[in-house]
Amino acid sequence: MKTAGQSVRARLRSGVAASDPGLLRLAAGLRTVGAIALTLAVLGLLGAGVRHLVAGAMAAMVATFAIREKQRAQQALTLALGLPVALASVSLGALMSSRVVAGDLFFVALIFCAVYGRRFGDRGTALGLIGFQVYFLSLFVGAAVSGLPELYGVLGIAFASSALVRFVLVPETPAGLLERLREAFRARLAQLVSAQLDLLDAGPDELEKVLEDVREGTARLHETALMIQGRLEEGTADEATARLVQRRVADAEIAAERLGLLLLTARSAERADTLTMHLPGAPVPAGRRLSARDEATAILRRDLQGLRLLVLRPVSQETGTGLSHVRNRLLGYRDEENVPAAPAAVQDAFRGIGEAARAVLGLRIALGGAQDESDDTPATTRSREELDAEDVAIDAGEDEDREEEPTGLRRPTTRAAVQVAVGSSLAIVGGEFLSSQRWYWAVLACWIVFINTASTGEILVKGYRRLLGTVFGVVAGIVLAGLVGQHTWTAFALMLVCVFAMFYTAPLSYTLMSFFVTAALGLLYTLMHTYSLSVLLLRVQETALGAACGVVAAAFVLPVRTDRRTNELLVTVLERLTEVTEAAVDQLSGGPPVDLLDQARDLDQALADLRAATQPLTHPITPLRARRDTARYVVALLETCAYHARSLAATAELLPTHPSIAADPRLRRAGRRIAHNIGAIAAYVADDQAAVEIETGRSIASLLEPDLPGVPRYGRVTDRVLRHLQRLDETVAGLARPLGVPVAAPKR
């Protein structure tokens, strides 16, 4: 029973880790709710009134969620600086409450400064957010000069409670967070292997659904890998350890994605296109169930289950158990004599399992340290020796030169500050017409739609989502207020539930977050005895007005069109793709080693930025269906390119240590066309009048034909490198059609 209980707990822990990588959402919710609850408890013991309780809850919330630094010392300093900012803000709010015009002008100036402060990094963003939200708090609770001493005490208690919860009750260290992210990576890797296992047995009617699960699993694994890479420097003891973990995570991600492609090919009548793994609706090879009674298929299914166990089980459970035999068997598929007799595509799948097992072994060593090698077979020993040699070869890279940042109104923070100031001015004027008492809701809505947005389209979509969440939140607020009545502490308890749900769902759905915010506000109005249906309806009107003012300001004041934004990011992605591809091909051709890991990371981050920026174009409500399909297709093609570029980079880094891979100078000839085509597409996207053309012609393999008779065709360059180059060449050329880039006549 104990073993069964432990198994259930392990599965539950893995499921939670996979759904919430690093437990970031859970920690954020608990930290915020804990700070609010502690503040309310202290104020309740001191006999504070309802308005002071509401003020304390709001102050504790902003003091908690505004802090964004990763290092604890930096968090403490920002929190300490935030208290005087909050005291100054509430004081000015109380002083300006009776001066309508001067107060409005000051509020606009405060909003400008708060947004402009983002240029100074996380601390500037946090202090600006605290200043704005506390000024809003003073308006919400009706702060007066005579009541400032009590409010000062409330703010002090709120900030002290936030500090206690952050650093004592719900602590978070960079090392601990990185450890949880590693656990999430393993859990998501196991989920992806499970989805790939379903791929073997899915019939033609089920194939698209199973493929969607594989795509989602691949995307979630990639998301976690990016999160780990962003935390490595703070969470590891030294740069060498950080680079080792980064390398092992990248290897596991690439091996898992390649295994999915090989399994799809194994169950199909033709080689699967990599695009199928990134684009829903892409052509799927003719699907057929592999025979359940076929011996090779049974072994393949068993080994996929073994790979999943190898991913999930701790290192301590490996030695002296059946798991070590599973590991040895899977690693044995890296030797040709151990691959079972089967069709060529199925044998490739076994080889893919062997490479995935090697990547998992490297990940386990990097994350779990030294292991007992007494059960190792020769194949496992060889894999360990290769991994050790790679570890020694990993050197710290040099810092890259920073790109020159724009100045003046071209700087994003300055432009956003001007836009928010103009939008807020419009919201103040319009809000006054709707309500002279609660006009500030329109300003808050205008402010929020600008947070983490960079184009008019993003602001429009965010405004729509906020309005939708607010409408449903009003309905929930009506229901909750009717249930609570005048029971103060019941209302506060329900508000804490809404606050936790707000922070837990924020990264998943902005609409859900807005829903819980509005429901919590309905409870606050109930506590302050100002609840009514008209007040909640006014909340919807003010939200719609604020969102509209934000969209108007974004569209007419220093606008950044969605097309312009996506084109700029597309050019950046293509530039990063060129850097990774050229560096990898040069190294595979015998050039000096360079820092391919960081270049691949920059490519992934640029692609993530582009994917986020295209959300307004791919949103379900967009009326431009053709444009939506084009945006999805282009992003899928770029994800395919990034996969092949990452694979080339990973192979290039094996050159110094892998006995079966050697440099071949002829690869430079094949890489020139790819680099030229990427550059041509980037030039055309930046200027559609540019006189560029895409080159097409002979296959990549034919470009490696020897110049002299008797010279081996490929030398020791592996077939995998050629396949990646060929697919990259085809995919880059495929970008020409949706982007409208001219294609030159094929050269003979």
Helix axes 562-588, 596-613, angle to 10 degrees: 160
Lowest mean pLDDT among 24-28, 148-152, 484-488, 590-594: 484-488
Q: What is the mean pLDDT of residues 525-547?
A: 79
**CB-based contact 514:444 (threshold 8 Å):** no
Single-letter amino acid, residue 81: L
| pLDDT greater than 70 at residue 712 | no
| Average pLDDT for the chain | 81
CA-CA distance, 516 to 550, in Å (whole number)?
A: 22
Predicted local distance difference test score (pLDDT) of residue 710: 47
What is the distance between the alpha carbons of residues 651 and 645, in angstroms, rounded to a whole number?
10
- For the chain, helix, strand, coil in percent to 5 are 75, 0, 25
pLDDT at 718 over 80: no
4 pLDDT more than 60: no
**Overall average pLDDT of the 391-399 stretch:** 53
pLDDT band at 399 (very low <50, low <70, confident <90, very high): very low
Give the separation between CA 502 and CA 668, rounded to whole angstroms: 53
DSSP, collapsed to helix, strand or coil, labels residue 530 as: coil
Residues in the chain, total:
748
Q: What is the H or E stretch that residue 251 is in? A: helix 239-266
Instruction: Pick the most confident of 272-276, 636-640, 706-710.
Output: 636-640
The answer to whether the CB of 546 falls within 8 A of the CB of 445 is: yes
DSSP 166: I
Farthest CA pair distance, the chain = 96
Pairwise CA distance, residues 463 & 619, whole Å? 13
pLDDT digits (tens, 9 = 90+) for 233-270: 777 766 777 788 888 888 888 889 889 888 888 877 56
Q: 632, 279 in Cβ contact below 8 A? A: yes
Q: What pLDDT is attached to residue 398?
A: 42
pLDDT for 283 beyond 80: no
The pLDDT score that the predictor gives to residue 319 is: 55
Tens-digit pLDDT profile for residues 136-150:
899 888 888 999 999
The mean per-residue pLDDT over the stretch 571-578 comes to 93
Q: What is the arithmetic mean of pLDDT over 138-165?
A: 93
Render pLDDT for 620-661 as a digit per residue (tens, 0 to 9): 666 666 777 888 889 888 999 998 898 888 888 777 666 666
Q: What is the pLDDT of residues 539-556, one digit of tens each?
A: 888 888 988 898 888 888
- What average pLDDT does the segment 304-332 reach? 78
| pLDDT score of 570 more than 50 | yes
The CB density around residue 29, as the number of other CB atoms within 10 Å, is: 22
Angle at 739 between CA 736 and CA 740, to 5 degrees: 75
Residue 86 pLDDT: 95
The pLDDT score that the predictor gives to residue 500 is: 92
Alpha carbons 4 and 268: distance in angstroms, whole number = 39
> Residue 743 has what DSSP assignment?
B
Q: What average pLDDT does range 463-472 have in this prediction? A: 84
Whether the pTM exceeds 0.85: the reply is no
DSSP assignment letter at 169: I
Q: Residue 286: pLDDT above 70?
A: no
* Structural tokens at position 173: 């260290």
DSSP line for 275-336:
GGGTSTT-----B-PPPTT-HHHHHHHHHHHHHHHHHHS-GGGTTTSHHHHHHHHHHHTTSG
Give Cβ neighbours of residue 429 (< 8 Å, ≥ 6 apart). none
Question: Residue 747 — φ and ψ, nearest 5°?
Answer: -90, 140
Mind listing the pLDDT tens digit for each residue in 42-73? 999 998 888 899 899 999 999 999 998 888 89
Q: Give every CB contact of residue 67 below 8 A, 6+ residues apart in sequence.
A: 75, 78, 79, 82, 126, 166
Cα–Cα distance measured from residue 413 to residue 419, given in angstroms and rounded to the nearest whole number: 10
The residues near 153 (Cβ < 8 Å, ≥ 6 apart) are: none
